[in-house]
Structure 1
């Protein structure tokens, strides 16, 4: 990792003392660590400490151009392979969201094209403030990564969410990031995505609001994780991710046939599609004319693909389902997991802002047979997908 340069931004919070362990741990693992501190951060930990641990000059003042051959903040921005902001206060998060550049750290962040990962740290009420949450959502939409703060006793005396992730967790995240994140190498992943359409007549059908975005994000994340991905997609207008084999279907029956065809070769099955629960008992060959004030349709159940997968899957196969609910989310999700033979289920409340069909974001909780295993706040669907794939990788490797 000697060729990987990490710029560690340290801001003014009590958790700044943890940044020393982050810098030391990364340097010991062979990373080239360069530290930028805000002036507020120097009230909690000295630049000399960070210089000794990182083995490089620590930047604090934008105008401290100690090397006349380069402009310091541009040089750091250009040569960074990764930016870590730890701790990230509400102030630096706001600056990043608004595009402000009024000190060495915020100016360098504006100039870099490197990936950025943020480890927030603040009082629980500050973290829950709607303005802070909006700023976090803005950064997530721009592709900024987050290492979520933990729950517990905070330095201010409160108990709640806001404690910066431990240095070991941050270092582990970095190593996974640079390792290429290939936990599914050599595995085949079968994913369903989007809605199905059940015809009434040649011009009308029964369907739902699913956009397929979550399923496609999962397909992309699985491919990046090294898997061979088979994506069975209902009628959606989405671009096929790279290195993904796509099979297009329309009806629930077609999706069932495709799933069962590819099921034997799959190591992981992720059923993210919103399959229609019912279809018209009679499909009319000609367009129905609007001649009466009322029209009665008799519906019959469609094929229960998830139940069939649960009954047919082998011991080595991991089955992940989805539950989009509007009430009693945990109860319904866990009951569905048991009833359909799933190993994991991803549940979301589609009535929450940012978590419904067609959005670019999601809010999910993952359960197994023992209970909750992962809870994710408002994130882009790409981030949610990456976290789910990471969890699947851990399950496959026994972590």
Structure 2
């Protein structure tokens, strides 16, 4: 078991890769009563074309199957796993993203019992035609709910512009038509390929003896038999800047127009873990400098009546994609889109991008990070999403401090590109 100390944040992380390939992370927090366990597979909604384990040819499975599989994992022949957690004094949940699926529990009691339940139910799939068909109606209602959400539609409309061929533009839950095609055999194919321990991580944070906890996990895994690990082969359509849809729109039953300007990353991102986290951190600092609510750009747009407090921006970086989006409600969405693009394309000359402003934002970002570490829920939910090789969530302060103004300016020059820009408008239905 490897022990890594982070003196700056007063944390100690224990790591071990088990014989079956499962990577286990333990973060003891003696001063807390609650414990979280998070079991994550490196498998999400975009992984819909791959070579199944033990086979040679690529297959394409229905859209939304990763999310569907997440739902079905909780239903077993002898009952619902949620009820089992409840009887053991724990609450459980799960979520699927573009690239990962996570199962988690939180408890103040019977930690090992609940951890055993978490590991065992994720490693014991049970799918039948009857249970799969029953779930289709439930998830179909969930899909319809999201179709009625204007902000959700706005976001995926933007992704449709930026990634018209890549499965990133497809709703994580799929469509009513696509989930209608899912079979129990499909679920087993995806499960057997992506839920191998070598493609998964287990993270436990809370009150524990790390030696005893690791021994408990080792024993649990040693008692099970798994197939030999194989490299997972995924396939994604190739896209170029020419594929980007520069502008599109949608009408919905809303009171005010909305707009998002999307920016697709066309540059190469680093492969080293720490450099990748630095790239992401630098991008977040750059966009905060340009559009943060204390920036002059934001104040000018606000005073001109082009935006309100619905305005927001975010940067996403993950396997096979990275992009940013900026926007919100506006009475003049076309004008706001033009101004956003102008600010982005002149970032290197911007009066906002200064040593003084960067220093203030770095301090603010570090302060917010330390504040977040008071929440075990935040740590549990963010840890697996912030894994870049051996670089973890706890390397964040060091990475933030390493960002220089030259890094921000260099990134502005490589990431922000006219060819990568797109606009998506949403107008009130006439």
- TM class by shorter-chain length? under 0.3
Larger Rg: 1
* Higher percent of residues as helix: 2
* Higher percent of residues as strand: 1
